A and B are shown apart, each in its own frame.
Chain A
Amino acid sequence: QQQVKQSPQSLIVQKGGISIINCAYENTAFDYFPWYQQFPGKGPALLIAIRPDVSEKKEGRFTISFNKSAKQFSLHIMDSQPGDSATYFCAAIPASGGSYIPTFGRGTSLIVHP
């Protein structure tokens, strides 16, 4: 059962444009929401993360927006570059004390055209 739904499955943007990837979760026991970036032949690497008590977090060109009431969060990549072309995964990590099953979205393949 997919507990984190990620969209779109694929995304093509032009260099300099904004890439937006969305995720929605169901389980309110999650309390940490990281985004991972994965290049072909490599494992996922942590990009940026947020907690539900914060509505937005920005690190360089990457921003997470978080809507706790809607149980949704999104990744915005500003000024997208060809080097950003990769697969992006959102994830939801359970709070301490309960069942621990980190849950990932199915990924978004981003292509940034030069």
Chain B
Amino acid sequence: KAGVTQTPRYLIKTRGQQVTLSCSPISGHRSVSWYQQTPGQGLQFLFEYFSETQRNKGNFPGRFSGRQFSNSRSEMNVSTLELGDSALYLCASSIIIRAETQYFGPGTRLLVL
């Protein structure tokens, strides 16, 4: 069974731009969570989507948003990029919502200049 895939793997943007990242969960997994990973803060939970609805949300500003499609694929959008948004963005999928076990993708490395 294929794992979680994320596209693109690398991205360079400039301040003020917006970016959209994509995540395809493991087949049969209906929950997708997004995380931001930085050297200073580690892994931080952004939000979780299940059945096309955001079900849980971390402590990030409204510039970070997402959506989930009927096939469980998910996208994350960051608007008005700031230098501090440079990070590895990880997507994780699970069978159910609020699952204890999540399966992570390889991440998208975003660099904001």
A residues with a Cβ closer than 8 A to B are 6, 32, 34, 36, 41-46, 49, 89, 91, 93, 96, 99-107
Contact = CB atoms under 8 A, between A and B. Distances in A.
A39 to B, nearest CB: 10
27 contacts: A32-B100, A34-B101, A36-B104, A41-B106, A42-B106, A43-B4, A43-B92, A43-B106, A44-B104, A45-B103, A46-B101, A46-B102, A46-B103, A49-B100, A96-B98, A99-B56, A100-B55, A100-B56, A101-B58, A104-B42, A104-B43, A104-B44, A105-B42, A106-B40, A106-B41, A107-B42, A107-B43
B107 A101 contact: no
B41 A101 contact: no
Contacts of A42: 106
Interface residues on B, range: 20 to 34
Contacts of B58: 101
B101 A106 contact: no
B107 A43 contact: yes
A60 B103 CA distance: 21
B64 interface: no
Nearest to A89: B43
Nearest to B91: A43
A89 B4 contact: no
Contacts of B55: 100
B104 A45 contact: yes
Contact of B43 (A32, A44, A49, A100): A44
B42 A106 contact: yes
